[in-house]
Amino acid sequence: MLKQRVITALVLLALLLPALLASSAEPLAGLTLVLIAAGAWEWGRLNGFAMRGALRIAAVCVMLCLYAWSARWAYDVPTNLWTITGAAWVLIAGWLIQQGVERWTRISRLLRLSVGVLALWLTWLAMYQAKVMGVNFLLSVLFLVWMADIAAYFSGRAFGRRKLAPAISPGKSWEGVWGGMLGVMLMACLWIWVDVHYAVDSPSLYSRLYLRGAPFLVLATVFLTLMSVAGDLVESLVKRSAGMKDSSQLLPGHGGVLDRVDALLPALPLALMLTQLR
């Protein structure tokens, strides 16, 4: 298992790194479009569709992405798109987590499919726009999610006592969440220092948030950390409802695409929302 995880991670890194460092955002947009299409296929499978139906769902998601690409939304996003997306994520994720696993299957399948495809499409668009804003900015958002996950894992193992959502994800604890918040805050301070002292291609997420003051930086990073956890919980809820441990086996040793991007689904759009508040 460990060998598979390492090999898969190295292959993904070899594919993503050149696209990430490319002078334009289009190579990354093209590569992540493939991943988002795979995630949409997984979403269809998690919601009871067979292969052909799931492929149609992936095709719909790809068409939405291609429309936004041709309209150059990554360079001129429609007014209030990220504000609306952020508000929807907070309300829907909060409601789903509160309602629990059993409620999910009682929601119309068409509605479930629509929400998932829209979330994946908007995440792809947010990734694309973040790359347009600069590699440093995009990396700072990605590392927020990764740091929150890593710090939560170790702090949860060391101090975890109170379960966060035992019916959805028994392994998560409130102590893990707090540890994730602390890890992200420390990383944010370090990243701001790097932005100040070294030449970077763009201000990071944290430097942009800090322009509104230290209290806003703290509140925003805590909020983003919580929403990354919410994204993870929502995907766990859907998998548990479907009776599946992983969203698929597309990534050997890692599960599926949704298993890797679940926390990014809310974090990327919300990060853009916070940086564009007026």
pLDDT value, residue 1: 55
pLDDT value, residue 63: 98
Phi-psi region of 260 (alpha: psi -120 to 50; beta: other; left: phi over 0): alpha
Residues sharing a CB contact under 8 Å with residue 214, sequence separation 6 or more, in sequence order: none
What is the spatial distance between Cα 267 and Cα 274, in angstroms, rounded to a whole number? 10
What is the spatial distance between Cα 21 and Cα 28, in angstroms, rounded to a whole number? 9
Q: Along the 278 residues of the chain, how does pLDDT read in single tens digits?
A: 556 777 887 888 888 899 998 999 999 999 999 999 999 999 999 999 999 999 999 999 999 999 999 999 999 999 899 999 999 999 999 999 999 898 998 999 999 999 999 999 999 999 999 999 999 999 999 999 999 999 999 999 999 899 999 999 999 999 999 999 999 999 999 999 999 999 899 999 999 999 999 999 999 999 999 999 999 999 999 999 999 988 988 888 778 999 999 999 999 999 999 998 87
pLDDT value, residue 13: 84
Are 130 and 137 within 8 A, CB to CB?
yes
Reduced to 3 states (helix: H, G, I; strand: E, B; else coil), residue 193 is helix
Residues sharing a CB contact under 8 Å with residue 278, sequence separation 6 or more, in sequence order: none
pLDDT value, residue 255: 83
